């Protein structure tokens, strides 16, 4: 009989929650999804681990952003969303959200105008390089105990634009959450006289909406962890193996490079093939860098809130694993069929997936050889402050949770970015791998790409 990791967590959580508020700590506790628990357990086990951060960067004309007004807007946004109030913590081995005051920081970041650090961290030739470097340095110094939301503003003494980082603890957000943040922050900023408080009834309603959303997600995860899912993932991932020891530094990459290219947007029926094509392209790039013959583990976030769930901030996605054997590009229809089969089991918690792979003989710890994230920009409202829409920019130098990470954003075009661990791969090798990635994409999507 299969024992569900989710069911075991709920038993421990309910025991803690029933006693919350009766002792020295009056703060109520809320449960966490499987993805949120994984983030917290990783930090709890390794005190040197960095917080997983999801940042967006926007450029505004200098003088646009009023920090005091932005702070009021951030506090008002936080009070609408329990994931931004209190702290994510581990109590007696059980990850929970302990409710409290808004967990928000709004600050101007000092900028070193010398430019030396900027060339290393953000890339030479950028006119706002020192500001980019200052923001990256601040994000790398993110404390493991919060805050959940940081709004950091930076500008060099001669910059015509100022850069705003909107960064969240990954435990508090997923792709849908980013849209809620940009829309909600802009709305609160526009309401200059609205204050930062939310009426008591509104706060109680927000807590119950969050609780219902997480409990609905946990129900879906428990149902998706049955024997059929175990058989599927065992068959799919039984050939995975970790990279040999000593092939690269342990832990998250701390010095990274980035390559960027834009391809024409894919339209019509062909859009359904974009994601399988990206999976095969990332596989080609990863094998170009790995140089071995093992099956690589590529991860990608997928999922969303259960049906009829209120729009709440949180991390409701799951990380799916795509096994990537070496070889030439595969037929797109075969890739698509396998991908759709995997999506039928997309709610299976990651730890259950790892357990299934190991039951089939995989010598795999759950470590990923590459990550792919895909965002449809038509689903995320722009950040508008004081009537001015921020121009989104992308910064190299962020820490990575895998040797390579590919991000694709589909809007007016298809923006593709490859980030790599510079301690593991030389820039020239990574740029060659990026060329392989683009060639594979064009092979699948046609010459127009």
Q: Which of 40-54, 146-160, 319-333, 399-413 has the lowest mean pLDDT?
A: 40-54
pLDDT of residue 119: 47
8 A C-beta contact, residue 317 and residue 350: no
Residue with more model confidence, 226 or 126:
226
Give CA separation, 405 vs 102, 195, 256, 259, 436, in Å. 31, 40, 10, 11, 15
Residue with more model confidence, 394 or 196:
394
For 266, counting Cβ atoms within 10 Å of its Cβ (0-12 exposed, 13-18 middle, 19+ buried), the class is buried
Dmax (CA) of the chain: 66
pLDDT of residue 249: 46
**Mean pLDDT (whole number) for 285-309:** 89
8 A C-beta contact, residue 335 and residue 276: yes
Phi/psi of residue 103, each to 5°? Answer: -105, 80
8 A C-beta contact, residue 297 and residue 342: no
Q: What is the pTM of this model?
A: 0.86
As a whole number of angstroms, the distance between CA 283 and CA 332 comes to 13
Where does the pLDDT of residue 125 fall: very low under 50, low under 70, confident under 90, or very high at 90 and above? very low
As a whole number of angstroms, the distance between CA 385 and CA 388 comes to 5
pLDDT of residue 265: 82
Phi/psi of residue 35, each to 5°? Answer: -65, -45
Where does the pLDDT of residue 445 fall: very low under 50, low under 70, confident under 90, or very high at 90 and above? confident
pLDDT of residue 410: 83
E strand intervals along 291-439: 296-302, 318-324, 370-376, 384-385, 388-389, 391-393, 404-410, 413-421
pLDDT of residue 186: 96
Q: Which distant-in-sequence residues (6+ apart) come within 8 Å of 386 by Cβ?
A: 64, 65, 66, 69, 189, 190
Asked whether the predicted pLDDT for residue 189 surpasses 50, the reply is: yes
Asked whether the predicted pLDDT for residue 392 surpasses 50, the reply is: yes
Asked whether the predicted pLDDT for residue 122 surpasses 60, the reply is: no
Asked whether the predicted pLDDT for residue 233 surpasses 90, the reply is: yes
Residue 416 CA from chain centroid, whole number: 16
Where does the pLDDT of residue 255 fall: very low under 50, low under 70, confident under 90, or very high at 90 and above? confident
Cα three-residue angle 297-303-304, rounded to 5 degrees: 150
8 A C-beta contact, residue 243 and residue 295: no
As a whole number of angstroms, the distance between CA 319 and CA 392 comes to 25
Where does the pLDDT of residue 437 fall: very low under 50, low under 70, confident under 90, or very high at 90 and above? very high
**Radius of gyration of the chain, Cα coordinates, nearest whole angstrom:** 22
Q: Which of 38-52, 178-192, 246-260, 287-301 has the lowest mean pLDDT?
A: 246-260
Instruction: Give percent above pLDDT 90 in the chain.
Output: 59
pLDDT of residue 22: 53
- Reduced to 3 states (helix: H, G, I; strand: E, B; else coil), residue 2 is coil
Instruction: List pLDDT tens digits, range 318-332.
Output: 899 999 999 998 899
Where does the pLDDT of residue 117 fall: very low under 50, low under 70, confident under 90, or very high at 90 and above? very low
Query: Which residue, 233, 257, 433, 251, is CA-closest to 322?
Result: 233
**Mean pLDDT (whole number) for 38-61:** 83
Asked whether the predicted pLDDT for residue 46 surpasses 80, the reply is: no
As a whole number of angstroms, the distance between CA 179 and CA 385 comes to 15
369: its two tokens: 């050889």
Question: How many residues are listed for the chain in this entry?
Answer: 449
8 A C-beta contact, residue 383 and residue 151: no
Instruction: Give percent above pLDDT 70 in the chain.
Output: 88
Asked whether the predicted pLDDT for residue 19 surpasses 90, the reply is: no
Asked whether the predicted pLDDT for residue 163 surpasses 90, the reply is: yes
Give whichever of 63-72, 202-211, 259-268 has the largest mean pLDDT: 63-72
């Amino acid at each position: 009989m299969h024992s569900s990791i989710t069911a075991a967590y709920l038993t421990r959580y309910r025991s803690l929650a029933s006693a919350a508020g009766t002792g020295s700590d009056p703060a109520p506790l809320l449960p966490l999804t499987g993805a949120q628990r994984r983030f917290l357990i990783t930090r709890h086990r390794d005190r040197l681990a960095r917080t997983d951060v999801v940042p967006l960067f926007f450029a505004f004309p200098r003088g646009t952003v009023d920090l005091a007004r932005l702070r009021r807007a951030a506090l008002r946004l936080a009070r609408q969303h329990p994931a931004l109030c209190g702290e994510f913590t581990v109590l007696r081995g059980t990850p929970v959200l302990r409710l409290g005051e808004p967990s928000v920081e709004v600050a101007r970041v000092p900028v070193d105008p010398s430019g030396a650090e900027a060339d290393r961290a953000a890339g030479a030739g950028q006119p706002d390089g020192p500001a980019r470097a200052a923001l990256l340095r601040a994000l790398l110094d993110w404390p493991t105990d919060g805050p959940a939301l940081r709004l950091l503003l930076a500008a060099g003494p001669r910059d015509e634009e100022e850069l705003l980082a909107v960064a969240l603890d990954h435990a508090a957000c997923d792709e849908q959450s980013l849209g809620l943040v940009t829309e909600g922050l802009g709305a609160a900023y526009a309401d200059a006289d609205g204050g930062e408080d939310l009426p008591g009834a509104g706060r109680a309603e927000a807590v119950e909406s969050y609780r219902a959303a997480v409990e609905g997600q946990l129900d879906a995860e428990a149902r998706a962890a049955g024997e059929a899912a175990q058989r599927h993932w065992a068959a799919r991932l039984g050939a995975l193996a970790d990279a040999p020891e000593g092939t690269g530094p342990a832990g998250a990459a701390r010095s990274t490079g980035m390559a960027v290219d834009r391809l024409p947007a894919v339209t019509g029926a062909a859009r359904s093939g974009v994601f399988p094509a990206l999976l095969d392209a990332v596989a080609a790039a990863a094998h170009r860098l790995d140089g071995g013959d093992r099956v690589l583990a590529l991860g990608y976030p997928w999922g969303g809130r259960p049906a009829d769930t209120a729009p709440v901030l949180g991390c409701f996605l799951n990380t799916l694993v795509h096994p990537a054997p070496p070889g030439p590009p595969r037929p797109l229809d075969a890739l698509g069929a396998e991908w759709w089969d995997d999506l039928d089991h997309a709610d299976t918690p990651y730890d259950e997936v790892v357990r299934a792979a190991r039951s089939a003989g995989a010598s795999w710890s759950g470590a990923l050889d590459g990550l792919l994230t895909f965002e449809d920009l038509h689903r995320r409202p722009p950040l508008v402050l004081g009537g001015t829409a921020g121009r989104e920019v992308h910064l190299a130098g962020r820490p990575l949770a895998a040797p390579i990470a590919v991000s694709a954003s589909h809007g007016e075009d298809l923006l593709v970015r490859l980030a790599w661990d510079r301690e593991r791969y030389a820039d020239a090798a990574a740029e060659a791998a990026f060329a392989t990635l683009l060639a594979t994409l064009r092979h699948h999507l046609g010459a127009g790409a």
